[in-house]
Amino acid sequence: MKKRVGNRVLMLLENACYPKDTRVRLEAHALIEAGCEVTLICPAEKGQPMREVRDGLRLLRFPQPGAGGGLLGYVWEYAYSMVAVFVLSIVVFFKRGFDVIHANNPPDLFVLIAVFYKLLGKRLIFDHHDLAPEMYYARFDGKGNRFVYRVLLFFEWLSCRVADHVIATNESYKALEQQRDGVPADRITVVRNGPELERFEGATPSAELRKKAGTIIGYLGVMGFQDGVDYLLRAIKHLIEDLGRTDVYCLLLGTGDAWDDLKALTSELDLDDYVWFSGYVTGEKLRSCLATADILAAPEPKNAYNDRSTMIKMMEYMAVEKPIVAFDLTEHRVSAEDAALYAQPNDTLDFARQIAVLMDDPALGRRMGSLGRRRVESCLAWSYQRRCLVEAYGKLDVPVRGLQPETPEKQKPAAIPAATE
């Protein structure tokens, strides 16, 4: 008979601050609603308290390390962060205790902390947000160091093998965890990224932004070097110069490591009059911006990382009932199906052409938006993914509420197919 596990959960997060990481915020509160006692260790933004209880979630923060470039910068960031997280985990261990470590990657180095606590009988759930080895090559445009790549492969393998259970964000990740890391299927649960439908409802378009142009194009999300915002800027350039569509304006909603480079590229392409960098936006301002947009863009280029990854922006775009233009990536098609037009991978001129198709056919855009909204409502919303998370904890015999949701059969999520290359 399996030993019953307690429901005190220690979540670890390094690459984002709370509550900016939407997935971690949703998972933490889903576990609290399921009866767990949850503590989260994460970096602090300027002005955030080091200790806080927020909506039932206990937060312990550490000062965010300074941004560094290159390999040495990352070594410093991760070394500092791992020491800070370990010290705070000891504080939690002696003050409140915990039964399960929920490690959110990247980085995969949390396994070094988890191994210590597993010797003390604690369980580990590895929440595999990103393929760190592939993300490393994507970030450096395929020019990364081979040794670093192999180190990242090792820590991914170690995290998956040490974990008592692995959470994958989609079927592509699950297949890789089975094939590359040797994890049995019964130790993996898919918990997709999914939007909170209520977060995107009741928005009023911005009258000020609406005056900017006849067609408003929007982008929401992180602006890292692997996220393809530079591809979107070049597509806008094609749209204006090669296709003669000058009545356009692009909203770039978010921030990231590539922010300064993207602003410089915008000026270099002579697009300053056509592009607005909003910075980090939330709440009513975010909803208003999305409601104003006519077309939403997912410009992630095709590579081994993006092709397998589920982008939360796709489901958020669908939640606001807007048509999408994206490059033709495996998981983009799994998520959006007919709610998007797909450009040839990494072809910015074709991306511009797909935008032009929607500019010329607003009725098509409305139909695509409606299809996307229905798909989110039927199977992709966070309310469905929450159940999968609770089930993953149930497989470890953690006492959680909600393993048998009393949802009418007609409201159960439709099956989400595995991606095919």
Q: Tokens in use for 48?
A: 């955030």
Find the Cα–Cα–Cα–Cα dihedral 393, 398, 401, 404, rounded to 10°.
60
Question: Position 409: which residue type?
Answer: E
pLDDT, position 1: 44
What pLDDT, on a 0 to 100 scale, did the predictor assign at position 407?
42
**What one-letter code names the amino acid at 288?**
S
> Rounded mean pLDDT of 37-41?
98
Sheet containing 37-44: give its strands across: 51-54, 57-63, 37-44, 8-12, 100-104, 123-128, 165-168, 188-190
Would you say residue 170 has pLDDT above 70?
A: yes
Task: Write the pLDDT tens digit of every residue in 225-252.
Answer: 999 999 999 999 999 999 999 999 999 9
E-strand stretches of 254-294: 275-279
Q: Which fold has domain 8-194+382-411?
A: Rossmann fold (3.40.50)
For the beta carbon of residue 244, count every other beta carbon within 10 angstroms.
9
pLDDT at 215: 98
Please check whether the two domains, 8-194+382-411 and 197-378, share a CATH topology: yes
Q: What is the DSSP string of 326-380?
A: EE--HHHHHHHGGGEEEEPTT-HHHHHHHHHHHHH-HHHHHHHHHHHHHHIIIII
Reference 81, options 103, 101, 64, 58; nearest CA is 64
Separation between Cα atoms, residue 397 and residue 4, nearest integer Å: 6
* Residue 58 pLDDT level (bands cut at 50, 70, 90): very high
Q: Which CATH superfamily is domain 197-378 in?
A: Glycogen Phosphorylase B; (3.40.50.2000)
Per-residue model confidence (pLDDT) at position 3: 59
Taking each helix axis from N to C end, the angle separating 110-118 and 146-162, rounded to the nearest 10 degrees, works out to 30
Residue 2 clears pLDDT 70, i.e. is over it: no
What does the domain layout of the chain look like in residue ranges? 8-194+382-411, 197-378
pLDDT band at 411 (very low <50, low <70, confident <90, very high): very low
pLDDT in tens, 135-155: 999 988 778 889 999 999 999
Residues 143 and 133: their CA atoms lie apart, in Å, by: 12
Q: What's the average model confidence in pLDDT over 182-200?
A: 94
- From CA 206, how far away is CA 20, in angstroms rounded? 24
Determine if the pTM surpasses 0.75.
yes
pLDDT average, residue stretch 365-383: 96
245 Cβ contact partners less than 8 Å away, ≥ 6 residues apart: 215, 239, 355, 356, 359
Average pLDDT over residues 196-207: 88
